[in-house]
Amino acid sequence: MAAKEELYSKIIPRRLRQNRASNAVKQGSHLDVLLSMGFPQSRALKALVSTGGRSVQLACDWLFSHVDDPFLDDPLPREYVLYLRPSGPLQNQLNHFWQQSRLTCGKNKAHNIFPHITLCQFFMCADSKVEALCGALQSSVSQWRGRFPSPLPLELYTSANFIGLFVEEQVAETLKKFAADFAAEAASKADVHVEPHKKQLHVTLAYHFPSSHLASLEKLARGIEVKLGCDWLAVLFSRDIRFANHETLRVMYPYVPQNEDELELVPGDFVFTSSVEQMSTSEGWVYGTSLSTGVSGLLPENYVSRADECDTWVCHGSHSFFSASPSEKSNKESRTLDGLLSIQCLDNSRPGDSSILSVVCQPMQVLRINSHCRTPKRTLFVCRHGERMDVVFGKHWLSQCSDAKGRYVRTNLNMPPFLPAWGGGHRDYDMDAPITVFGAMQARTVGEALLETNTTIDFIYSSPSLRCVQTAHEILKGMQLDGKLRIRVEPALFEWTKWVSGSSLPAWISPTDLAAANLSVDTTYRPHISISKLNVAESYETYMSRSYKVTKEVLADCKNKGGNVLMVGHASSLEACTRQLQGQTLRNSKEFIQIVRKIPYLGMCACEEQDSGVWQLVDPPILPLTHGPNHSFNWRETLQQE
């Protein structure tokens, strides 16, 4: 608390601070300005290094946002690396390959870092030496202008799990000499030890991918015109060494902490997580540290998505070997990448040093393809059901809303007004819970979004679970198709039976009784796989096999009639019904479970049939839907508590 008060006591009124900063920039360095504002030197240096030395204002903002960072005064240095980055036509080609390979085969390890040639190993540099290190790079590049090999000869190489462009050996030795010169300059000017890269120099295109993707990736790689013009840039990056072996996650949705050990989430921020720190967390939650604040805590897992390793790196210098400063044209080229956003470095550096570009790297991301610019293709949509009663109100939820005679009585606004009834009276819902009121709203919202985007659904299938049938019905209502399109109840779409509690499967409501409860169910539909074929505690391989089998049969059956198919199932359905359809091998069961845990209610994926007959995942036509956790509220217990 004392540290926070000390930092706030240093804050100068905004207008005065801006005037002083403006004058000081003309008279001295950014560090001098921060020191004149009263910040301790160690913190001022850390803020400047963490923001790439871009401006006093950014450094101040960083300091204010890191007030509660327990490592604010930690002297641990950052890690640095020197890369050669292409720009111009060759860069466009490489990023086009990046886009197409990600769309065709999904993300592989190469996508974690933008296209580059590694010139040295990661090395550490104290914050006080970073300015000298940047000067060493600028000096080294200046000495090599006119000597850098052009064009840089690159040759395609492929193996079972690696594809790359290798620099011709003799030219590679020349590049290694430049790296050695930089290492000598860094040692002389910044007292930093840099180890030049000794392995073969190359641009990695893809690695650590399934063998089934090799042919597709190799075909895309052969389309790269390696002889195109290119201005190679020597770029210096840094990262926080504490999170070098952590997973990087991007915050997608805001979250306000409801307990002291939870982390506030702001969209656009990044969170670092470690597998070691997840051992004791609750299911559906992860423990992580915010990039923007340095604060750690628990966060809901479905509020974040996996990001690339380099998304949080800081750029400290970018120098061309062919011109004294990167041209405006090359900067524009680097930002127009055939549908990709590349790493962008904005020039806002110290006066008199126009070649130093400094900014936290912007994430590389695939832009949404305009659906109006391509021929419509048949699409399979797979969607998880909506919020379920037994998760919100607990396993014994039914006892909370039953009167003395066992009749259903609504006791919470999020409980449905009534439950479906059928011949034989009320049944035991313990193993087949319905959706909540909010679950129905979620499903209708998704249906309305599909309607707004003019998405066509020609066939709709559902798991026999009541929550799935109800979700499918509400989606149809949102699309204004209830009564016009009938739900085909398919037992094979039920989730992995290993997850069923007890020694038997749920006694699902029959299609006839579902239709009698005013749900849009096709009572004439004959399933591809009957309920009698399902077994309790089936193996992972059996579950994936039946999911793939029924998906293929449904698609084959619907192909003769044309149109898109929507399957409403469980969190596991999104993976189980699409992975093998794309020709991909099964993950192991542990990886599968981790993926399933991250799929929220109404999570949806879209798998599109290609001209070749192969299916591949594409962006769904609608935005994702997130409904945050919400605790039960009792006004009497809360407001009248003494």
pLDDT tens digits, 235-251: 999 999 999 889 999 99
pLDDT class for 281, splitting at 50, 70, 90? low
Residues annotated as part of the active site: 384-385, 570
| 3-state SS, residue 101 | helix
Specify the pLDDT at position 362: 39
| Per-residue pLDDT tens over the stretch 321-375 | 877 654 333 333 333 323 332 333 333 333 333 333 333 443 333 333 333 334 4
* pLDDT at 499 > cutoff 60: yes
CB neighbour class for 15 (10 Å; exposed up to 12, middle 13-18, buried from 19): exposed
pLDDT at 124 over 90: yes
- Strand locations in 515-601, DSSP E? 565-569
Give the separation between CA 294 and CA 116, rounded to whole angstroms. Answer: 29
First-to-final CA distance of the chain: 30
Phi and psi for 605 in degrees, rounded to 5?
-130, 160
Q: What whole-number percentage of the chain has pLDDT above 90? A: 51
pTM for this one? 0.51
Report the mean per-residue pLDDT for the chain: 82
H/E run at residue 618 = strand 615-618
Check: CB of residue 22 under 8 Å from CB of residue 11: no
pLDDT attached to residue 263: 94
Position 528 scores a pLDDT of: 93
Say yes or no to pLDDT of 103 above 60. Answer: yes
- 118 vs 146, 201, 237, 586, CA distance in Å? 21, 7, 11, 33
Q: Do the Cβ atoms of 481 and 457 come closer than 8 Å?
A: yes
d(CA 423, CA 434): 18
pLDDT range class, residue 633, cuts 50, 70, 90: low
**151 secondary structure, DSSP code:** S
Higher pLDDT, 472 or 57: 472
Query: What would you measure as the largest C-alpha separation in the chain, in angstroms?
Result: 92
Residue 358, judged by CB atoms within 10 A of its CB (0-12, 13-18, 19+), counts as buried
Q: Report which residue type is found at 117.
A: I
At residue 100, the pLDDT reads 86
> In Å, what is the CA distance from 322 to each residue of 149, 174, 233, 353, 600?
10, 16, 9, 17, 50
Q: Read off the tokens for 27.
A: 């008279």
Nearest to 85 by CA among 236, 193, 229: 236
Mean per-residue pLDDT for 299-320? 91
**Beta strands 565-569 and 459-462: pairing type?**
parallel
**Is the Cβ–Cβ distance between 506 and 465 less than 8 Å?**
yes
pLDDT of 282:
65
248, β-bridge pairs: 272
**Do you find a cis peptide bond into 326, omega within 30 degrees of 0?**
no
Mark out the alpha helices in 55-88 (DSSP H runs): 56-65
Mean local confidence (pLDDT), 445-474: 94
pLDDT of residue 637: 59
Please write the tens of the pLDDT for every residue from 184-239.
Answer: 999 999 999 999 998 899 999 999 898 889 999 999 999 998 887 788 899 999 99
Give residue for tokens 């594409």.
618
b/e per residue 154-178 (b: at least 16 CB within 10 A):
beeebeeebbbbbbeeebbebbbeb
Residue 181 makes CB contacts below 8 A (sequence gap 6+) with: 140, 143, 144
- Model confidence at 20: pLDDT above 60: no
Asked if 267 contacts 249 with a C-beta cutoff of 8 angstroms, the reply is no
State the pLDDT at residue 573: 95
Q: What is the DSSP string of 434-469?
A: -B-HHHHHHHHHHHHHHHHTT----EEEE-SSHHHH
**What is residue 575's predicted lDDT score, i.e. its pLDDT?**
94
Burial class (CB in 10 A: 0-12, 13-18, 19+), 272: buried
Q: Among 562, 479, 574, which residue's Cα sits nearest to residue 520? A: 479
pLDDT of residue 280: 57
**Predicted pLDDT at 632:** 57
**Where are the alpha helices (H) located in 70-129, listed in sequence order?**
89-105
Structure tokens at 536: 């309790």
| Model confidence at 400: pLDDT above 90 | no
Three-state SS at 296: strand
Percent of the chain topping pLDDT 70:
83
Residue 416: how many CB atoms within 10 A of its CB?
A: 17
- DSSP 8-state code for residue 50: H
pLDDT at 629: 60
Pairing label, strands 565-569, 379-384: parallel
Query: In whole angstroms, how far apart are CA 558 and each of 116, 323, 489, 554, 573?
Result: 46, 59, 15, 6, 19
Residue type, 595: I
Cβ pair 547, 492 in contact under 8 A: yes
- Strand segments (E) across 466-525: 487-489
How is the beta sheet containing 459-462 ordered, strand by strand? 487-489, 459-462, 565-569, 379-384, 604-609, 615-618
In this prediction, residue 422 carries a pLDDT of 52
Distance of CA 179 to the CA centre of its chain: 34
- What residues have CB less than 8 Å from 55, skipping those under 6 apart? 30, 348
Residues belonging to the chain: 642
All domains of the chain in start order, with CATH: 30-66 (1.10.8.10), 78-245+309-317 (3.90.1140.10), 378-391+432-618 (3.40.50.1240)
